[in-house]
Amino acid sequence: MARILLLGGTSEASQMAQALAEAGAEATYSYAGRTERPMAQPLPTRVGGFGGADGMAEWIREHRISHVIDATHPFAARISRNAIAACAATGAELMALERAPWVAGAGDRWFHVPDIGSAVAALPDFPARVFLAIGRQNVAPFAARSQHFYLLRLVDDPLEPLPLPKAEAVIARGPFTVEGDIALLKKHRIDWVVAKNAGGSGARAKLDAARALGLPVVMIDRPALPPRPVMRCVAEVMDWLAHSTRLGV
């Protein structure tokens, strides 16, 4: 019988957890611990890091994990790299459940940048109102462009003051609608949108809203990862598990 470690924190991970639970798989869902109120899952759940690749490898050995499914956020590069190294060290089979990246279409005004620092530099010199749709972990560098007003949308109330001189936070959990995001951008008189290319449908609305309003988008590209197998949907991963030589679900 396979023993599965599901690295989660995304809507796809929740869908994967439901499918595993319905299949009667022996699996553990792992949250990184960055969300104050993580969604309840139909699987046994652990919260917190592993202590790097070596710590994850030790956890995999201790719990006799045969399969690891990495369904973390596309920008959670550290844990994805750790999963690659830990599986290589232990022989556990690895599969990434990764949503396809967004692609600009007709009417989009996207400026692609490789990282947060480049996104900061891409903003205009004159004061602007910026929707900073990148979560709370990477907002501090934008304080260097203190002439701007920043609107943040966060899952949890910030525990400390935002590290930006002129900022406001909206607390909300997706999925969001185009109509709702158009209203949000209009209400706050947003001029620019900064986003990570997370992909998926739940957070796409802000990009469609920006297109509808003719707003420029600074799009931060995904970090590069070592080669690993990737699937795009839960059904594909379940099929992979069903045909694995080790699995009996």
* Pair 40, 65 in one domain: yes
* Pair 81, 159 in one domain: no
Q: 82 lies in which domain range?
A: 3-100+224-242
What pLDDT digit, counting tens, does each position of 55-70 carry? 999 999 999 999 999 9
Grouping H, G, I as helix, E, B as strand and the rest as coil, residue 133 is strand
* Burial class, 125, CB count within 10 angstroms (exposed 0-12 / middle 13-18 / buried 19+): exposed
Count of residues in the chain: 249
What pLDDT digit, counting tens, does each position of 79-119 carry? 999 999 999 999 999 999 999 999 999 999 999 999 999 99
* Pair 208, 230 in one domain: no
* Pair 118, 198 in one domain: yes
* Pair 208, 165 in one domain: yes
At residue 117, φ and ψ (nearest 5 deg) are -60, -40
What pLDDT digit, counting tens, does each position of 175-216 carry? 899 999 999 999 999 999 999 999 988 789 999 999 999 999
Q: Is residue 188 part of a domain?
A: yes
* Pair 87, 158 in one domain: no
* Pair 31, 14 in one domain: yes
Question: How many structural domains comprise the chain?
Answer: 2
